Structure formats: structure tokens, C-alpha cells
Structure 1
Amino acid sequence: MTFTSNPNTAVIWQVTKDNTVLYTSPTPATALSNYLFSSAGVYMITATKPGGCTGEPKIVKVVATPPAPSGNITGELKVCAGVPYVYTLSTIAPGTVPVWEVTNGSIQGSNSGQSVTVIFNVGATSFTVSVRNKSLDPLGCLSAPLTLAVQKAIPSAIITPASVGPYCPSSTMTFTADLGGIVADQMEWSLRVLTLVVLYPGKELIKSLSTLMKYPIILIPRIFVLK
């Protein structure tokens, strides 16, 4: 914080707290520049003209910076761009309100409160969601952030049949896709030789194999996450 003399006169500056002198300027100056208050409390700033009188003291009350959020941020760790996700702080410290920030994304609605809605930018591959505690006094001091790292979801699947082939003509077989923890709203399956498109709200494909037995088969799932 910076203090200036009025009128613009070179003075000796002194900072006192609890009757202890913390700082005295080595030479007269017209301003006490960028003084850092290291702790909360009541400080007294005085200016004395060399060989003259001391002016009326300036009383400064310094409030403590809130502690960083102590809870956890809950929400998706792998996301798709362009769709909304909700993140929540598990614990709110008394006398504070959570204030949210996001990198490579935007906040929809209010950026304060226990929860926030975020839409991540198309083209980015990594993101962060951060929250700080803001004091409820008029100063609104901000704490250090609590940050959650988020990554772009890159859907891929490991396809497993119910049993290993070869398979008999006119038989059926169930193939299951392991999406590595990603929950798909919809999956579309296709086969390399005989094209097949099946929209099925789950991870399984059931198809007659009677016409496919003499060809190599490659199952290719397309995964859709529709928030």
C-alpha cells in the first residue's frame, strides 16, 4: 500500500503496530511506497517533517486473508468440449463465499457459491477448475486457490466378445466395449465388411453372424457423450 504526504513534502515515514515501530524511512520522501503489511492487525502510519512536527497518524486496519478451501472439488475429470459440467466444493469455510475460476473454459451464470457450471473450450486438451475463499467483509479478500486438473475425454474402446470365435453360421454373439471409465450416452457400432449401424443405449452389440463367417470382421464403435 502507498501513502503520500499532503502537501507534497518530503517527510520521515514510520509504521507502528502494538506500540512497536516496524519501519522508519531512512531518508525523507514524499511517499511511503508499496508497504507490505505482513499480518492482520491495527497499524499507525505517521509522517514527520525533518526538524518539524509529526502530523496526525493514519490508522490502518489489516484483516487476515481467508485460508484456502479445505474441502474437495467434485466433478468430472474427463470432459467433452462445448457441454456444461457442474463442479462443487464440499466444504464452505465460515465467513467466506467460494469464488470460481476456470482455464480454457467459461463459467455459465454466477462464479460464486458452492457449485459452478463450466463449459470447456473446443480445441483445448487440458483445463483447470479453481476455487478461492472470499471474505464477506467489504474488502472481499481472496485466499490461495484450490485447483482441480481436468482433461479432455478421448473415447476409445476395448471390445470383448462373450466367447472367443470362430463362430457358427446363423449364430449370435454379444460384444462388449470397455470405455475406460467413460459413461457414454449412446454408442454406434459398425463392421468393416458388411456395414452395420446400430444405435443402442449401452455397451453391447448383438448381430446375426450368418453372412459374415467367411470374412474377417472388425468391430468399430463410435462413442457419444451427450450432456
Structure 2
Amino acid sequence: MYIKFYLKGNTNDPSQNPRCDPLAFKPNVKMMQKCYYPDSAIPCWGNMPEMLAAEEILREIIEKYNKKPIGWHMASDLRGNAIVIGPDIGYRIKTMMISPSENIGFGTRFEPGNLGASIGSGYHFGFRPVPPELFEKISKENFVTEGVQRIIGKILESDPVPLERIDSEAGGILGGPFLQHPDLRGISKAQQELDEKLRIEVEKEFIRRCPMRASIYR
């Protein structure tokens, strides 16, 4: 499990975000490259789930999160896969980085059933404002001390809030927790099937955008 801290500032275009970071859609927010790792670390609708660009899926996630920020969980692996479970719906996303500043991604909706229990961390995923004095104290640390762990734990105990409610008085934003999984395909057979459908869409888009590079792997 890990968390992210975000600084106020300008954000990059979401299509340039290889990690499919949901906060990429929040105006005037920039990710600070510092992550902390606290110690506490289904069937689809129909046979052919709708495949959407990852940017569209992430915008929908943010819209739904802002309306109802409690009850979310998120997990990702190092294979470009992410699962986001909301109070009423689940999302599966798959991305492929094609350059340091560009990625290809597709996602789909699915009925999560009890999958949230498999990727839950004990805290609701979301975004929490961090007071300026605490943010400054945390950002100065090069490693996680017991004091920083206590601060992070206290912040995580508070409820996530809609991004639009985090005003300019906040020193920063704590995003997460994010569960890191070795391979999300192994969670269930349904997730394996979704992964295969998404892989096909990502590969088709890769061939369309980069035909010369794609021919090397044929």
C-alpha cells in the first residue's frame, strides 16, 4: 500500500500521465514526486463490455468521486493495470507507455460484487487536504519517521473529500491509499477475461499509432 502527496500548481494533460493518476483531472494541482509507504501495508455487463479511452474512464471516475467520495478503493500493478472500485460500480483500466510523455490506455466498467474486499486497505481511497504546517513538515523528511507515520495515519483516518472542496488554504493533498498488487489479472477469472479484451484494444491502438514499431513485435 502506498500514498501520494500533491502540491498546488499546474497539472499535466491527463493523456500524458502514464500512471493514470486520477488527480490529473484536477485543475491547479501538480504531483510532488514523493511517495510514502506506511507499515499497514466479476462478471461484466453483457458479453462485450464497452471499451472507452482511459481518459474518458478517469474523467467519469472523478465525476462520480466528487459526488460521492466515500467507499472507493484503488489498486494497480506494474503491468499497466488498475482497478478502481466505487460505491456502486467498478472500473478496469489498462495502459501501455509508448514514450516517457505518452501512453495508450483503455478501460471499461464492470459490476464489482465483493471485489472491493480484495483490494481494500482499511481506509477509503480518496483525496484529503493537508494543513500547510503538516505538509511542510512531511515534505522536508527524506524518509518516513515515526512522527511522519503518525501524521499520515491521522490524515488517513479523516474522510476523503470532493476535489472541488479542497481550497487554496490547504498546503497539499494526500491521495490514496493505493494498493500495489503483483498482477491484477490473478484476482479473478472475470478480471483475466477483461484484461484480455483490454489488451486487444491497447494493441490495436498501438499498431494504429506506431505501425513501424509494432511491426517489430509481430
TM-score, normalization by structure 2: 0.18
| Higher RCO (CA < 8 A, seq sep 6+) | 2
- Of Structure 1 and Structure 2, the greater helix share is in 2
Higher strand share: 1
Structure 1 or 2, whichever has the larger Rg, is 1
